[in-house]
Amino acid sequence: MYPKYANFPIFKLSSRNTMQIYKANILFTKERTQFDVIPNGYIAVDGGKVVGVYEQLPASLAGQPITDYGDKLLIPAMCDMHVHAPQYRNQGIAMDLELLPWLQNYTFPEESKYVDTAYAERMYRRFVRDLWRFGTMRTVAFATVHRDSTRLLMNLFREAGMSAHVGKVDMNRNCPDALCETVEDAIRDNEALIADCTEPDALVRPIITPRFVPSCTPELLQACGDLARKHHLPVQSHLSENRSEIAWVQELEPDSRNYGDAYRRYGLFGDTPTIMAHCVWTEGEELELMREKQVMVAHCPTSNLNLSSGTAPIRVFLNQGVPVGLGSDISGGHDLSIFKMMVYAIQVSKMLYCQDKSLPFLTLSEVFWVATKSAGQFFGKVGSFEPGYEFDALVVDDCSLNLDNYSLLHRLERFIYLGDDRQIVHRFCRGKEILEPRV
Amino acid sequence: MYPKYANFPIFKLSSRNTMQIYKANILFTKERTQFDVIPNGYIAVDGGKVVGVYEQLPASLAGQPITDYGDKLLIPAMCDMHVHAPQYRNQGIAMDLELLPWLQNYTFPEESKYVDTAYAERMYRRFVRDLWRFGTMRTVAFATVHRDSTRLLMNLFREAGMSAHVGKVDMNRNCPDALCETVEDAIRDNEALIADCTEPDALVRPIITPRFVPSCTPELLQACGDLARKHHLPVQSHLSENRSEIAWVQELEPDSRNYGDAYRRYGLFGDTPTIMAHCVWTEGEELELMREKQVMVAHCPTSNLNLSSGTAPIRVFLNQGVPVGLGSDISGGHDLSIFKMMVYAIQVSKMLYCQDKSLPFLTLSEVFWVATKSAGQFFGKVGSFEPGYEFDALVVDDCSLNLDNYSLLHRLERFIYLGDDRQIVHRFCRGKEILEPRV
């Protein structure tokens, strides 16, 4: 029986938190400006965390079981820092519409369906499965205003073993009746969801989610800020996506110095860890406030293109030390792959560079770092293979793309530019191999 | 034996030019501004050409064999109007470099390898196979300066049954020695390739291909113009891709009124059918000249993004009646899928719209029309399902994307935005089903 036992899948051991060693071509970005590349390297993992990365296996680790991925690539798993889970059905449709008719005819009617948890389950299962397909092991998601289907989404992430901050959306003005709640309902439903998640280091956690200033009264914004402070919960929302939205916020919150300041006044801008989607038009005092409060930008380049929003100045954020991650923003964005977000992030930065040569375009290592180590800090020590980081990883079999002995860096670049879910053959989150979620 | 005969693949009949009828959900763009959608429709094909499209099968066609594709989509096949076949290996690498080091360190060294026809065959076979994968049945390709490997590429397209205009590249200045030819060599090699293709209606034909003005002396440009006129051959080159290139051309051809006029003076700008890649900065007299001479724009949005070239004003070209097609421009572009070029063409038009509201962004039907019926005119009657058009078609099985009973138009939109080669299950060129080319 010995040979059969030796072939027993290794991840079973890993789930018991014993030491595990993986061998592959290892690439990650400790620093923003360059890749760490370890050809035929070893990575030791214990208790879900990286112990070390080695060119040669140290004597102290001799005798430990090794999973050998041969010539494949081993890279950190992806983080999607802004996505509307209930807009999954609308991915890639009605892209010819402008923002307002698109919201009224597609977004809000779709979100209204999530009062029905059976519909929610059918769609959310596919959504979680597709995040898995594209190698996204950490997600910051908007759900809907509905408590029960939000709880369901959290449970589906847990069932899959994938990590997420999931937000019940809060909104009580400028929205259809079906999605409009009272402040009291919002507080009660958030408290209920928060009470579900008492484990301090849980994989799946709630995040306070006022939709955006125009859809929340001052009372609701204040209630959201109070909840965040009371439970020390993170916050997500939208910021400075387009100019007419900014003007509208200025009208609604005339005492605010800028859009970001409107959140700040209610304790929703960096008092707890905060992530703001878009920030296309952020500059001046708002930029300074983001730097000071370390508010993270969820950069969503496909959404910004599809909705004619403009181009977020990511080079400026990086120069200023404002944290940045990447978001698919389904369904303003049409692509769930964070690898494709890297490509788009480079491309839109090249458009800015074309207009202003003082803003060098983003390089591959920079967008990779943004999508992994920079974004991952929102989840703790995630997105790198440095010691102590949680082992979130993807094994990439790029043999279909590696037709002429490319360098490891060119292989990674081709996978990012040309590849898709077909090349991702293993996925890990917190040291556990994550198998395909049931739909 | 009767049942077995009845199950015999239908395309065998079609290749004998008998009438064939296909049943599916048929979508195409007779007009630029809207799709023709025929749910569960019929298309009759004879002699490789469309006889008609029908909601109900006419009595006159009763008794003909029908290939029933069930709930799948049937759409025109794609045309790639600008692609550098020998840059296939460089697809998706070194995208962090600017144009000049990229040309010197990647493009020219790679093209130099094509003096070796064994290397050329290995790469060109994969290139043709991948065009097939993504549903591109018509291609306008740059090869290299090398006669033998250019002939090989033409033969591989013929062997596959896919249509192409293939250009031996002509260049004799501002290029590495290994790729520099004399005017006499250029004429001799072009004449040899032209002599191979005497069939008037051949699937694969030569196209006169001066690389661009800076790499061709006036003598070579004149020789190219003479060849085009003598054999009535089409012409392809690059035009107004970036501003420093335009300034360089002005220096080299000081008597020209603009970059396009520099080609015109040598008979290379619309005296025979002409296609020019990029046209990012085309305006004024150059635009007027393109309209007058009906020079086609090969719009390459990914390449323009990747190389920081700028954004071609496609809305202006359409308004002015300048013909437009889409090009992948491998390896300035990184994606071989013309469907993804449609997405990018919409997105970059939205960026222009964001800056100038007088230039409405391109709609899905417009980019589909550009990629099929508009581009297809370069090959004759290609790219539509109107009677008399050559039957170039794709059968799309989008069941993996059609998770919630979308409309046919939304199914097509989702396939274009989210789909890939996996959904393309049959491909036709000139009425013949095209099977996977051997690599």
CATH number of the domain residue A404 falls in: 2.30.40.10
Residue B8's pLDDT is what? 33
Residuewise pLDDT in 10s, chain A (439 residues): 233 333 333 333 344 448 999 999 999 999 999 999 999 999 999 999 999 999 999 999 988 999 999 999 999 999 999 999 999 999 999 999 988 889 999 999 999 999 999 999 999 999 999 999 999 999 999 999 999 999 999 999 999 999 999 999 999 999 999 999 999 999 999 999 999 998 888 999 999 999 999 999 999 999 999 999 999 999 999 999 999 999 999 999 999 999 999 999 999 999 999 999 999 999 999 999 999 999 999 999 999 999 999 999 999 999 999 999 999 999 999 999 999 999 999 999 999 999 999 999 999 999 999 999 999 999 999 999 999 999 999 999 999 999 999 999 999 999 999 999 999 999 999 999 999 999 9
Residue A198's pLDDT is what? 83
Integer-rounded Cα Rg, in Å, for chain B is 22
Residue A319's pLDDT is what? 98
Shared-domain flag, residues B95 and B234: yes
Contact A334 B403 (CB under 8 A): no
User: In the numeric block, which tokens belong to residue B182?
Assistant: 């004399």
Mutation target to probe the A interface, by most A beta carbons within 10 A, among B354, B369, B407, B422 is: B354
Shared-domain flag, residues A208 and A70: no
Is residue B15 scored above 90 in pLDDT?
no
Report residue B167's pLDDT band, with 50, 70 and 90 as the boundaries.
very high
On chain A, the residues whose CB falls within 8 A of the CB of B335 are 417-418
Residue B427's pLDDT is what? 98
Shared-domain flag, residues B238 and B337: yes
How far is A237 from A249, CA to CA, in rounded Å?
Answer: 13
Q: Are B248 and B281 in contact (CB under 8 A)?
A: no
Q: What is the dihedral of CA A340, A341, A347, A352, to 10 degrees?
A: 170
Residue B200's pLDDT is what? 80
Nearest CA in chain A to B92: A414
User: In the numeric block, which tokens belong to residue A239?
Assistant: 């910021």
How far is A125 from A129, CA to CA, in rounded Å?
Answer: 6
pLDDT digits (tens, 9 = 90+) for B303-318: 999 999 999 999 999 9
CATH number at B152 reads: 3.20.20.140
Position B439 in a domain? no
On chain B, the residues whose CB falls within 8 A of the CB of A351 are 305, 308, 311, 351
Position A29 in a domain? yes
Shared-domain flag, residues B333 and B404: no
- Total domain count, chain B: 2
Position B93 in a domain? yes
Position B320 in a domain? yes
Name A161's Cβ contacts closer than 8 Å, sequence gap at least 6. Answer: A203, A429, A430, A432, A434
pLDDT digits (tens, 9 = 90+) for B83-132: 999 999 999 999 999 888 899 999 999 999 999 999 999 999 999 999 99
Shared-domain flag, residues B374 and B392: no
What beta strand segments (E) does A240-359 contain? 274-278, 296-299, 324-326
ipTM over 0.90: yes
Q: How many CB pairs under 8 A join A and B?
A: 92
Position A438 in a domain? no
How far is A151 from A166, CA to CA, in rounded Å?
Answer: 9
Task: Give the structural domain span for B24.
Answer: 2-77+385-433
Nearest CA in chain B to A363: B96
Mutation target to probe the A interface, by most A beta carbons within 10 A, among B241, B355, B363, B418 is: B418
Shared-domain flag, residues A48 and A136: no
Nearest CB to B413: which of A95, A123, A410? A95
Nearest CB to B413: which of A92, A346, A351? A92
pLDDT digits (tens, 9 = 90+) for B376-424: 999 999 999 999 999 999 999 999 999 999 999 999 999 999 999 999 9
How far is A110 from B361, CA to CA, in rounded Å?
Answer: 25
Name A160's Cβ contacts closer than 8 Å, sequence gap at least 6. Answer: A128, A129, A132, A434, A437
Shared-domain flag, residues A247 and A317: yes
Q: Does A124 touch chain B (CB under 8 A)?
A: no
Q: Does A399 touch chain B (CB under 8 A)?
A: no
Shared-domain flag, residues A97 and A18: no
Position A214 in a domain? yes
How far is B120 from B284, CA to CA, in rounded Å?
Answer: 41
Residue A71's pLDDT is what? 98
Report residue B18's pLDDT band, with 50, 70 and 90 as the boundaries.
confident
Q: Are B334 and A417 in contact (CB under 8 A)?
A: yes
How far is B164 from B176, CA to CA, in rounded Å?
Answer: 28
Report residue B193's pLDDT band, with 50, 70 and 90 as the boundaries.
very high
Position A439 in a domain? no
Could you tell me where the DSSP H helices lie in A103-182?
108-112, 117-133, 147-160
Which DSSP symbol is given to A373? I
* pLDDT, average across residues B319-338: 98
Shared-domain flag, residues A365 and A241: yes
Contact B346 A95 (CB under 8 A): yes
Residue B98's pLDDT is what? 84
Shared-domain flag, residues A82 and A183: yes
Position B438 in a domain? no
Shared-domain flag, residues B119 and B165: yes
Mean pLDDT of chain B: 94
Contact A364 B95 (CB under 8 A): yes
Shared-domain flag, residues B57 and B149: no
